[in-house]
Amino acid sequence: MSRLLIILSVALLAAVMAVGWVLGPGMDERVVPGVWIWNIPLGGMTLSDAQAYLETALPLQQPNILIVGPEGQRWTFSPAELGMAVDVQATLSRAYTVGHAGRGRHIFSERLQIILDGVILPPVLAWNEQQTLHVLQAIAAELARAPQDARVHLEGTELRLEPGIEGRQMDITATLQMLLPRLHALESVEIVPPLVKVAPQITDDQAGQALDLARKVLAEPLILVVPDPRAGDPGPWTMTPDVMASMLRLTIGAGNVSVGLDEAALAQFLGPLALALAREPVNATFRFDPDTITLIPESPSVMGRQMDVTASLQRINTLLQEGQHIVPLVVIETPPAYPDTVTAADLGIREVVAVGESYFTGSSSARDKNIRLGASKFDGIIILPGQTFSFNEYLGDVSVEAGYDESYVIIGNRTVLGVGGGICQVATTAFRAAYFGGYPIVERWPHAYRVGYYELGGYGPGFDATVYSPLVDLRFTNDTPYHILIHTEVDTARSRLRFIFYSTKTGRTVEQIGPTWGAPIPSTKAVYQYDPTLPAGTVVQDERPHDGLKATLGRIVRDADGKVLYEDTFVSNFIPWPARYRYGPGYTPPEGAEIVTPTP
């Protein structure tokens, strides 16, 4: 064998051995040559080298996706920014598996075939759908245009139509469908996202209908009248179109168009009208004729009245939409508790059931007048079964305008001139009638100090009641099944006031206990107050001194069978009351007196 032949043989043997090593053990830890991930060759690389190369070679970070808006807006993203990522380990495992699955001599031929033909594999990609949607939603928000509803514009009383404008929004689903194939292929792409028109909720036709209604509402003034007016009723009331325009409200919904005045503003306008129209029902007053056991009406009953504000609002807006501008307010009549046609038999008024009396001997003419006027407020009234009588409610206004004169009243710790002095004489008499009638007394207050008027006629201290509206009241409850008719009478000759209760006797009895009282509490030292308006050296006594006293009045009320219904105790703590004087310049109060300097 020649030397050349030997060299060639050795070279051939070495090549065969090299190929065998490459196709055999040499590739056991490497990717077989000819294996590609898309257009990226990984053949001959170890897995660590292939991983580093693959991460840089795939175009995940390249800004190759362009989204173009209708006004030329441009947004550029890489696949990674749109949620695409490569699963490197899964992709390399897929690439390495090629040419490594066979065994024995077959692996050599398999690997040779791979080298000669090549194998192209797709990468294993992971897609984060939420990330893609988040990006598209942000773009959609920028491209969105809200529709503008058609509306009626009001300026003063002038109305005009403002047409609606269509809006738009990006179709995210369609955009995603356009994007996904290119996104999974990691290809460059330019996308113009489809836009969807959004119609206004309020159309031009609907707004035009509202415009016509609004013009009809504002065409004339609104005139509010009282149905079936009474003598002296106020009204009518006129609301001018400019005031109506300030309250105008238009409601346009799906298939519904309404125009009217704002209910809150209209209710505020109607508030004073409701007060002006309100009338409390007036119960008839009666005189009882014991001979015939009949009621004789003294004053008629009168129906009450109040405005139904809610119903009036609805009527005004309904009629305005119909083009009517003279609207009767909705008024509800409220009947009195009993009409003037009621009979004594209807109410169970048959006989005298209680009498209270007091004496006002020595009262001034002003006090006498106030007692008579105050007592007249209660003459002929009826207390219903279960009703709680309130003295202040029936007494009403105590003022000069109501006919009362000035007389002495107790205010705080002073006795001063005040309008209505003597009303407590009326309250005391009513208290005594309720006491002797055995009715539950809900509220009763004693006077601050002993008043001689209320002890006349043999009544001891503590058989009085004071009132001062609205804080101090006298109240008792008619706890029987029969009505009570109150009759008041003034005996001028005896200076006596009486409250007579007519009803039906239930057989109850009242046991009076007391009044009892303890030792007097001496009044404090006299009070002198300087009065520069008095003549020099003079002194005037304004109040006499009164000793203090604790008095207790009780009663036991039993029913017809002798069972105790109530046991009451009425305690009166009368405070000591000093004498009070005013003195002029040059007068020296006695030693030990309390000197009061008037407040400037």
pLDDT digits (tens, 9 = 90+) for 145-179: 999 888 877 777 787 888 889 999 999 999 999 99
pLDDT band of 23, cuts 50, 70, 90: low
pLDDT tops 80 at residue 332: yes
| Mean pLDDT calculated for residue range 349-369 | 91
Tell which CATH classification among 3.90.1150.10, 3.30.420.40, 3.90.550.10, 3.10.20.800 matches the domain 206-334: 3.10.20.800
**What whole-number percentage of the chain has pLDDT above 70?**
92
Q: How far apart are CA 477 and CA 502, in angstroms?
A: 15
Alpha-carbon distance of 32 to 47, in angstroms, equals: 11
Torsion of CA 127, 132, 133, 134, to 10 degrees: 130
What is the share, in percent, of the chain residues with pLDDT greater than 90?
Answer: 45
Q: Which of 138, 106, 125, 108 is nearest to 37 (CA)?
A: 125
What letter represents residue 571's amino acid? V
The answer to whether 392 and 469 have CB atoms below 8 angstroms apart is yes
**If we measure between CA atoms, which residue out of 191, 173, 172, 189 comes closest to residue 79?**
189
* Per-residue pLDDT reduced to its tens digit, 243-296: 988 888 887 776 677 788 889 999 999 999 999 999 999 888 888 888 898 999
Given a cut of 60, whether residue 339 has pLDDT beyond it is: yes
Question: Which pLDDT does position 125 carry in this prediction?
Answer: 85
Task: Give yes or no for residue 20 having a pLDDT over 70.
Answer: no
How high is the pLDDT of residue 175? 92
Q: Decide if pLDDT at 450 tops 80.
A: yes
The pLDDT value given to residue 228: 87
pLDDT of 420 reads 64
Per-position b or e across 17-30, b if 16+ CB within 10 A of its CB:
eeeeebbeeebeeb
Contact 358, 453 (CB under 8 A): yes
pLDDT for the residue numbered 359: 93
**458-506 residue pLDDT tens:** 898 999 999 987 889 999 999 999 999 999 999 989 999 999 999 999 9
Residues pairing with 415 in the sheet? 410
User: Mean per-residue pLDDT for 90-105?
Assistant: 80
N- to C-terminal Cα separation, the chain: 153
What's residue 499's pLDDT? 97
Tokens 């075939």 belong to 113
- In the structure encoding, which two tokens stand for residue 96, read together? 């390495």
Give the rounded distance of the alpha carbon of 543 from its chain centre: 53
pLDDT tens across 207-223, in order?
888 888 888 888 899 99
Tokens, residue 421:
């002095």
Residue-wise pLDDT for 5-17, tens only, equals: 656 655 555 444 4
Contact at 8 Å (CB) between 199 and 193?
no
**Distances in whole angstroms, Cα of residue 551 to Cα of each of 148, 359, 412:** 82, 20, 20
SS (H, E, C) 218-284: CCCCEEEECCCCCCCCCCCEEECHHHHHHHEEEEEECCEEEEEECHHHHHHHHHHHHHHHCECCECC
Both tokens assigned to 14: 């070495």
| C-alpha 294: how far from chain center | 51
- Specify the pLDDT at position 437: 96
Predicted pLDDT at 511: 96
- Per-residue pLDDT, averaged over 539-554, amounts to 88
Burial call 462-501: b when 16+ CB within 10 Å, e when fewer: bbbbbbbbeebbbbbbbbbebbbbbbbebeeeebbbbbbb
pLDDT band at 102, cuts 50/70/90?
low
Question: Given a cut of 60, is residue 412 above it in pLDDT?
Answer: no
User: In whole angstroms, how far apart are CA 222 and each of 323, 327, 346?
Assistant: 10, 8, 47
pLDDT at residue 559, rounded to an integer: 95
- The answer to whether the beta carbons of residues 115 and 26 sit under 8 Å apart is no
Q: What is the pLDDT of residue 113?
A: 84
Distance between CA atoms of residues 277 and 391, nearest Å: 26
Arithmetic mean of pLDDT over the chain: 87
Parallel, antiparallel or unpaired: strands 35-37 and 119-121: parallel
Q: Residues 497-510: pLDDT tens digits?
A: 999 999 999 999 99
Domain residues of the chain, as ranges?
A: 206-334, 348-596
pLDDT the model gives residue 25: 66
The residue that leads in pLDDT, 187 or 194, is: 194
Higher-confidence position of 211 and 77 = 77
Q: How many CA atoms lie within 13 A of 563 on its CB side?
A: 4
Whether the pLDDT of residue 416 is over 80: the answer is: no
What average pLDDT does the segment 64-84 reach? 91
Q: Output the pLDDT for position 568.
A: 94
CA distance 454 to 460: 8
